[in-house]
Amino acid sequence: MSNPIFIALIPILPLTCFLLLGLFGRKHFSTTSGIIGTLSLFISTILSFATAYQYFFQTGKINGVYQKIIVFKYTWLEFAPNLSIDMGILLDPITVMMLVVVSFVSLMVHVFSLGYMKGETRFATYYAFLSLFTFSMLGLILSSNIFQIYLFWELVGVSSFLLIGFYFEKPSAVAASKKAFIVTRFADLGFLIGILILAFYAHTLDFGILIERLSVISSPYLTVINAASFLGMSALSWGLILVFIGGAGKSAMFPLHIWLPDAMEGPTPVSALIHAATMVVAGVFLVARLFPIFALSDPGALQVVMYTGAFSAFFAAVIACTQTDIKRVLAYSTMSQIGYMMFALGVSKYSGEEGLGYMGSMFHLFTHAFFKSLLFLGAGSVIHFVHSNEMKDMGGLRKLMPITHISFLIACLAIAGIPPFAGFFSKEEILMAAFESNRLIYVVALITSGLTAFYMFRLYYSIFWSKDASVKNHHGEGTISMKIPLILLAILAIGSGLVPIASFVTADGLPITSHVPISFSIVPVSLALIGILLATRLFKNSNDLPVRISQQMGGLYTAASRKFYIDEVYLFVTKKILFNLIGKPAAWFDKHIVDGLMNLLANSTAKVSELIKGFQSGKVQDYALYFFGGIASLIILFIYLWQ
């Protein structure tokens, strides 16, 4: 297993699958493509688990510290000596953890889709895109070079675009896919410029060397990059913040979050994979990858990460309380939970016990992937059943879909942070880290945690309780392939909190030994319980209380349900400013001024030649006239000069 070929196979298998299904799927594998995709990913998953086992228990640790291991590296595009995009594989604790998460969740989604997408005419294309995404995401986390990560970053973005726009005949899906791509592209611009800045000062694109050169205090590179400043901020801060903007775009942080709720237009399993568990945490992963530079060299930039994360967490939680489309509730909840991960990184320090935030963030990323994809797959199951995304079309489904009901409940308890479900453990670590570092953040996190419990149970009750089921002629809860992923993920939503992440995934590679005291958990858990109780009172049985309350809140409620009008602001900026103020004048200028000038030039040339043409009339008299006129003027000139 130490053979690099096996690790390289992890992303290569899905790539092969993509090529196979993309090129020949429509003709030859229209029904078997699901099986092919799932099987190849199954092998990838096994290889990922084996790699993880080997890294954590055999090869990863040297002198008790987990190392960054470069498995292999190949120069792909050399810009200058020592400055090249390498295709390589870097293994370290976060990579290996992500490998497990991505391949496993992707496998669950592949299995779930076997039932969910059955009968779809573009079944093969769907699995091709799914494979492309999995390949890109695996490539992203394995990257050993900052430009390599950017490359896969773009690929992930485009596969997300293709999958959101999968139902290409729906105008809303097309609009959503465009929006997702363009907003993240805008953020990627920041990432790209950030890379240019960091690479210029560090003279490398390789992660290992880059981090070493920019985080060791005595490094001459660090002195130079800190000394260079622009608009009062050091070049290092600019570079890091710009890279973070790229991460914030992918991870749907405020104010670049607007694409995520719309992205729910894609097939629901896709939302579970891309927009819950894997791609959206790429930003967190990126900050974690560069964490030594953030934490050791530029705490200021880390503060930006912290405040962005905390605000996004709270902001999204408020909006989630008012949405009625169940996938949108989940989308905002995802944004909120990623905000959690972000600010957890923000409050963290690099080494020792103070690195709790980093560990908590990664822990939360790990547990969240399971319960959030479970929530989405559960929602998919529900949508498959009632053929609607709206809460008003649901209710009382608990008897009709028992497995979905139980697994959804488990996931809700997990995300709400009720012990002993997974979310409880990871949230505790984050809250503890925030408590020790920044009380303001801690309070925001606490309130958010309460809100989370409230809106999740609002969702839960609206789907499964509330009123009697109105669905008739249903076709059952779904195939066995849809149920197995739910059950497996539910087990993980309970059990993944018990994984001792603290001894594996830390910023400095050393295990963290401290434990959160039980007394600390009383406040958050009771807040979560209050949230749940409130939701029970309001939504368990249908009554008019929620409507009355929302009416009393008036403007605040409307603003939240309209997502605080951020979309409208964007629309204004793009439509009014980009199109009308820049695009239209540019097109007009080109057509009338630049082209007009060229035409004028041509026309005046024609005019002049028209004028001169007259001289060559062919009449001898005219020529005689010019001749004598010329002689006369020469004589006059001569006399004039001679005097």
> Residue 182: is it exposed, middle or buried by C-beta count within 10 angstroms (0-12/13-18/19+)?
middle
**Alpha carbon distance 405, 398 (integer Å):** 5
DSSP tag of 390: B
Q: Which is nearer to another protein, 125 or 322 (CB)?
A: 125
Contacting range for another protein; rule: CB under 8 A; set: 78-86, 280-288, 462-470, 492-500: 78-86
168 binds another protein (CB under 8 A): yes
Contact 376, 360 (CB under 8 A): no
Q: Which is nearer to another protein, 50 or 182 (CB)?
A: 182
577 binds another protein (CB under 8 A): no
**Alpha carbon distance 113, 127 (integer Å):** 9
Q: Which is nearer to another protein, 186 or 557 (CB)?
A: 186
571 binds another protein (CB under 8 A): no
233 binds another protein (CB under 8 A): no
With CB under 8 A as the contact rule, the residue among 9, 50, 158, 529 that binds another protein is 158
Q: Which is nearer to another protein, 164 or 432 (CB)?
A: 164
426 binds another protein (CB under 8 A): no
DSSP 563-615: GGGHHHHHHIIIIIIIIIIIIHHHHHIIIIIIHHHHHHHHHHHHHHHHHHHTT
Q: Which is nearer to another protein, 155 or 418 (CB)?
A: 155
572 binds another protein (CB under 8 A): no
Contacting range for another protein; rule: CB under 8 A; set: 189-197, 352-360, 378-386, 551-559: 189-197
- Smallest distance, another protein to C-beta of residue 589, A: 8
Angle at 84 between CA 78 and CA 86, to 5 degrees: 105
DSSP tag of 479: -
With CB under 8 A as the contact rule, the residue among 598, 608, 624, 636 that binds another protein is 598
178 binds another protein (CB under 8 A): yes
**Alpha carbon distance 149, 99 (integer Å):** 15
With CB under 8 A as the contact rule, the residue among 1, 78, 553, 628 that binds another protein is 78
Q: Which is nearer to another protein, 154 or 428 (CB)?
A: 154
Contact 170, 262 (CB under 8 A): no
Upper half-sphere CA count for residue 349 (Cβ side, 13 Å): 8
169 binds another protein (CB under 8 A): yes
177 binds another protein (CB under 8 A): yes
Contacting range for another protein; rule: CB under 8 A; set: 52-60, 439-447, 451-459, 596-604: 596-604
Number of residues forming the site for another protein (CB under 8 A) = 48
189 binds another protein (CB under 8 A): yes
Instruction: Report which of 407, 347, 350, 306 is spatially closest to residue 211, judged by C-alpha positions.
Output: 350
Contacting range for another protein; rule: CB under 8 A; set: 153-161, 529-537, 549-557, 558-566: 153-161
Contacting range for another protein; rule: CB under 8 A; set: 79-87, 362-370, 504-512, 524-532: 79-87
Greatest Cα pair distance, the chain, in angstroms, is 121
With CB under 8 A as the contact rule, the residue among 12, 43, 193, 566 that binds another protein is 193
Q: Which is nearer to another protein, 119 or 554 (CB)?
A: 119
With CB under 8 A as the contact rule, the residue among 174, 447, 510, 538 that binds another protein is 174
Q: Which is nearer to another protein, 583 or 629 (CB)?
A: 583
Contact 38, 21 (CB under 8 A): no
- Smallest distance, another protein to C-beta of residue 13, A: 17
- Smallest distance, another protein to C-beta of residue 147, A: 7
Instruction: Report which of 34, 182, 45, 173 is spatially closest to residue 110, judged by C-alpha positions.
Output: 34
**Alpha carbon distance 266, 273 (integer Å):** 11
147 binds another protein (CB under 8 A): yes
Q: Where are the alpha helices (DSSP H) in 29-122?
A: 33-54, 93-116
Q: Which is nearer to another protein, 78 or 622 (CB)?
A: 78
583 binds another protein (CB under 8 A): yes
209 binds another protein (CB under 8 A): no
> Residue 216: is it exposed, middle or buried by C-beta count within 10 angstroms (0-12/13-18/19+)?
middle
With CB under 8 A as the contact rule, the residue among 52, 90, 199, 507 that binds another protein is 199
For residues 255, 259, 260, 265, the Cα torsion angle rounded to the nearest 10 degrees is 160
Contacting range for another protein; rule: CB under 8 A; set: 332-340, 448-456, 594-602, 628-636: 594-602
Contact 511, 504 (CB under 8 A): yes
**Alpha carbon distance 265, 164 (integer Å):** 6
**Alpha carbon distance 161, 266 (integer Å):** 9
**Alpha carbon distance 464, 458 (integer Å):** 10
Q: Which is nearer to another protein, 199 or 310 (CB)?
A: 199
- Name the phi and psi angles at 71, rounded to 5: -75, -50
- E strand or H helix that includes residue 84: strand 83-91
- Smallest distance, another protein to C-beta of residue 577, A: 12
- Smallest distance, another protein to C-beta of residue 153, A: 9
- Smallest distance, another protein to C-beta of residue 583, A: 4
200 binds another protein (CB under 8 A): yes
- Smallest distance, another protein to C-beta of residue 365, A: 25
Q: Which is nearer to another protein, 549 or 593 (CB)?
A: 593
282 binds another protein (CB under 8 A): no
With CB under 8 A as the contact rule, the residue among 587, 624, 632, 635 that binds another protein is 587
**Alpha-carbon 136 to chain mean position:** 13
**Alpha carbon distance 421, 428 (integer Å):** 12
- Smallest distance, another protein to C-beta of residue 599, A: 8
462 binds another protein (CB under 8 A): no
Helices (H), strands (E): how many in the chain? 27, 6
**Alpha carbon distance 203, 197 (integer Å):** 10
Q: Which token pair is 359? A: 């560990």
Contact 542, 468 (CB under 8 A): no
540 binds another protein (CB under 8 A): no
> Residue 559: is it exposed, middle or buried by C-beta count within 10 angstroms (0-12/13-18/19+)?
middle
Contacting range for another protein; rule: CB under 8 A; set: 321-329, 367-375, 435-443, 579-587: 579-587
Binding site for another protein (CB under 8 A): 26, 75-80, 83, 85, 147, 151-152, 154-155, 158, 161, 165, 168-171, 174-175, 177-178, 181-182, 185-186, 189, 192-193, 196, 199-200, 578-579, 582-584, 586-587, 590, 594-595, 597-598, 602
